[in-house]
Amino acid sequence: MVDQQKEIPSTACVDVLVAARDRRDTIERAILSALAQDDVRNVIVIDDGSADDTVARALQCDVGRRRVIVERLRTSVGPAAARNVAIHISTAPWIAILDADDYFLPGRIRRLLSISNDCDFVADNVMHVPERQLRRGAVTSINTVDSSRPQQLTLEEFVLGNVTRRGFHRKELGYIKPLMRREFLDSCPLRYDESLRFGEDYILYAQALAAGARFLLIPTLGYVAVERSDSLSSRHSRHDLEALRISASALMAASDLSPRDRAALAKHVMDVDRRTQWLVIVEALRSRDFQGFVTPFLSSPALAIYLAGRLRSEVQPQINKWLKRLVRH
């Protein structure tokens, strides 16, 4: 598999950045998928304090071609800070982010570049694949129909694509992985918010759009996001959400936002706060803290309705099981 990777093309203009922690089982797949892409100059791996042999496995992918740069951090600093280290090392005009769990399908980078034109960011919709599906064999082609149309994202559209709203499909646009023009990031300047261990992508993209980034989103081309039960996005804590809420609230401080942009940002902050308060009452239940449980319900009627509805949806299945047992006996 390693022997099939391509020599670096003379036109290579993209560095792929990979932040990894304890990903010995997936790091080679990620790196090799990037090395196989036309126009990729280097793959820059930042090992975020791994306790396993992630570094050794990453280095094995290079085979003397000097296209894999590995920087090992002694302690974990989180994905945002690790990516900033990678951006500092990178020299290519374009930057692509690849999570260590995930991989590219052949030709993705070339296709994104072919439509980049005057864009600062260009991304395709992510293809989500459960890890259990990969155990039956790697996904090597697009296996879902994406009927979406290319669109130039506005700040309002992007933000609302990350908000849970009744009657609307939540697009999770904060998880897309665009090609980013290095010149734009440096001119703002923009980097990942290192206070975040969750939602750092969303904040960077929102900041870029607020700064006037031209952001093209197109149908799926081949970013395969592997859904794992132990991924950072699936096990964020109350502290993670509180940090995201603070950072998201700070976005509204920009003086040149339109009323529609500001309203969309406010909805996102409210959405993050609801999820934060849900974890507050979960923690209170576990610790049998009655006051801690009641306090979020008293914050506002809207929050109380949300929490009551979510509590019911979580508790009702358990009540139904108990009632079935009672009837049987």
- Contact indicator for 90, 181 with CB cutoff of 8 Å: no
- Contact indicator for 62, 68 with CB cutoff of 8 Å: yes
Residue 4: predicted pLDDT = 46
- Contact indicator for 65, 115 with CB cutoff of 8 Å: no
Return the minimum-mean-pLDDT range out of 1-15, 45-59, 71-85, 205-219.
1-15
Region label for 94, one of left (φ > 0), alpha (ψ between -120 and 50) or beta (otherwise): beta
pTM (two decimals): 0.88
Region(s) of the chain under CATH 3.90.550.10:
8-224
Buried b (16+ CB within 10 A) or exposed e, 295-328: ebbeeeeebeebbeebbeeeeeeeeeeeeeeeee
Structure tokens at 224: 């395969």
Q: Is the pLDDT confidence value at 188 over 90?
A: yes
Residue 170: predicted pLDDT = 47
Q: What's the average model confidence in pLDDT over 236-257?
A: 91
Pairing of strands 68-73, 40-48: parallel
How far, CA to CA in Å, does 250 sit from each of 5, 265, 277, 301?
43, 10, 19, 25
**pLDDT range class, residue 182, cuts 50, 70, 90:** very high
- Side chain identity, residue 72: R
Residue 8: predicted pLDDT = 58
Q: Which CATH number fits domain 8-224: 3.20.20.70, 3.10.290.10, 3.30.465.10, 3.90.550.10?
A: 3.90.550.10
**pLDDT range class, residue 229, cuts 50, 70, 90:** low
Residue 101: predicted pLDDT = 94
Question: What distance in Å separates the CA atoms of residue 239 and residue 287, rounded to the nearest whole number?
Answer: 17
**pLDDT range class, residue 311, cuts 50, 70, 90:** confident
